[in-house]
Amino acid sequence: MDYDYIIIGAGSAGCTLAYRLSENPAHRVLLIEAGGKDWRPEIHIPAAYSRLHHTPMDWAYSTVPQPGVNNRMMHQPRGKALGGSSSTNCMAYVRGNKLDYDEWAELGNRGWSYEEVLPYFIKSENNEQIHNEFHGQGGPLNVTKSQHYVTPLGEAFIQACESKGIPRTDDFNGAEQIGAGFFQFTIKNGKRGSTSSTFLKQAKNRPNLRILSNTHTRKIIIQDQKAVGVEVQKGKNIRNIYAHKEIILSAGSFGSPHILMLSGIGNQDHLSDVGIDPIHHLPGVGQNLQDHLILGLCSTTDQPVSFNTKETLGNLLTYLFSKKGPFSASPLEACAFYKTDPSLDRPDMQLHFAPAHGSDMHDHTSFPRDHDGYSILPTLIRPKSVGEITLKSSDPFEYPNINPKYFSHPEDLEIMMRGVRMALELFKTEAFAPFIDKISMPEKYDTDEDLLNHIMDKVETCYHPVGTCKMGHDEMAVVDDELNVRGIANLRVADASIMPTIISGNTNAPTIMIAEKAADFIISKKSIPLQAEKSI
The residues annotated with a catalytic role in the active site are 464
Dist CA 42 CA 149 (whole Å): 18
- How many whole angstroms from its chain centre is CA 250? 13
72 SS3 class: strand
By the 10 Å C-beta count (0-12 exposed, 13-18 middle, 19+ buried), 532 is classed as: exposed
Query: Residues 6 or more apart from 325 whose CB is under 8 A from it?
Result: 148, 149, 310, 315, 318, 319
Residue 418: count of CB within 10 angstroms of its CB:
16
Dist CA 296 CA 88 (whole Å): 19
List 290's β-bridge partners, or say none: 466
Are residues 309 and 370 in contact, defined by beta-carbon separation less than 8 angstroms?
A: yes
Q: What angle do CA 355, 450, 368 make, to 5 degrees?
A: 30
Q: Is the dihedral of CA 260, 261, 266, 268 positive or negative?
A: negative
Q: How far is CA 39 from CA 52, 87, 147, in A?
A: 12, 10, 25
Query: Residues 6 or more apart from 300 whose CB is under 8 A from it?
Result: 357, 371, 372, 373, 437, 438, 440
Of 388, 396, 478, whose CA–CA distance to 230 is shortest?
396
460 SS3 class: strand
Label each residue of 358-387 as H, E or C: CCCCCCHHHCCCCCEEEEEEEEECCCCCCE
Are residues 426 and 376 in contact, defined by beta-carbon separation less than 8 angstroms?
A: yes
Dist CA 22 CA 525 (whole Å): 16
Dist CA 4 CA 462 (whole Å): 36
List 354's β-bridge partners, or say none: 375
Query: Residues 6 or more apart from 193 whose CB is under 8 A from it?
Result: 91, 141, 142, 185, 186, 187
